[in-house]
């Protein structure tokens, strides 16, 4: 499953995993979300509905470019720096390419679409 994320004039592409959580996320597209910075490592945004945790690992670490779901808060997380293992963090997929537009975004609106 391929997605496109647009921030301003910049489009990023990504690929989602074939998991129940990633399929639930993909089913919610297209989405417009407001990004905020969290812990100087990731951009987060609220999702309209919770994602399935069926078959999900207990947690994971975040790597630059990772798209993830933080189940305890029900939010989307897109990482631009490495983070330690977190219980409840479910990897959905990953972005490819230059993440500089993501780094600069704070309070910006991002559009996420299926490709």
Residue-range definition of the domain harbouring residue 60:
2-114
Please list the pLDDT of the chain residue by residue as tens digits (115 residues).
Answer: 999 998 888 889 999 999 999 999 999 999 999 999 999 999 999 999 999 999 889 999 999 999 999 999 999 999 999 999 999 999 999 998 888 878 777 777 888 999 8
Report the pLDDT value the prediction gives residue 5, as an integer from 0 to 100: 92
> Residue 66 CA to chain centroid, in angstroms?
7
Report the pLDDT value the prediction gives residue 105, as an integer from 0 to 100: 74
**Count of domains forming the chain:** 1
CATH assignment of the domain containing 19: 2.40.100.20
Report the pLDDT value the prediction gives residue 108, as an integer from 0 to 100: 72
């Amino acid at each position: 499953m391929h997605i496109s994320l647009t921030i301003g004039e910049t489009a990023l592409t990504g690929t989602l995993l074939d998991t129940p959580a990633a399929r639930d996320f993909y089913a919610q597209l297209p989405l417009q979300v407001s990004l905020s910075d969290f812990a100087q490592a990731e951009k987060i945004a609220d999702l309209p509905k919770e994602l399935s945790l069926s078959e999900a690992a207990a947690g994971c670490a975040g790597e630059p470019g990772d798209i993830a779901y933080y189940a305890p808060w029900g939010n989307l997380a897109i990482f631009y720096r490495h983070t330690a293992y977190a219980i409840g963090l479910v990897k959905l997929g990953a972005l490819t390419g230059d993440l500089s537009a993501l780094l600069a975004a704070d309070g910006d609106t991002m559009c996420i679409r299926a490709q």
